[in-house]
Amino acid sequence: MTKTEYKKARRLIRENGNYALRWLNDEHRNIIETLQAGKDKLAERASIVAWCKRENTPYSFYNLM
């Protein structure tokens, strides 16, 4: 999903509510539903990085994949 597609999807949902999810393709719908459910993986990674920096602990996400 590109930045432009994301902005269009957010605008569609803002104007029509969650009913607009029916109009998105499966991939985009899954992304938006994940973000709405609070399972934002980027935010989760950011909180892990912040904690590691606070605790002065080395971190690497390459080992997790």
- Do the domain assignments include residue 65? no
- Do the domain assignments include residue 62? no
| 54 C-beta neighbours (distance < 10 Å), count | 8
Q: Is the pTM above the cut of 0.75?
A: no
Domain assignment of residue 37, given as a range: 3-55
CA-CA distance, 10 to 3, in Å (whole number)?
11
Category of 60 on φ-ψ map: left (φ > 0), alpha (ψ -120 to 50) or beta: beta
- Do the domain assignments include residue 61? no
Q: Total domain count for the chain?
A: 1
- Do the domain assignments include residue 60? no
Both tokens of 63, joined, read 């080992």
pLDDT tens per residue, range 2-43:
889 888 988 888 899 888 889 999 999 988 888 888 766 777
Residue 34 is given by DSSP the state: H
Average pLDDT over residues 58-63: 74
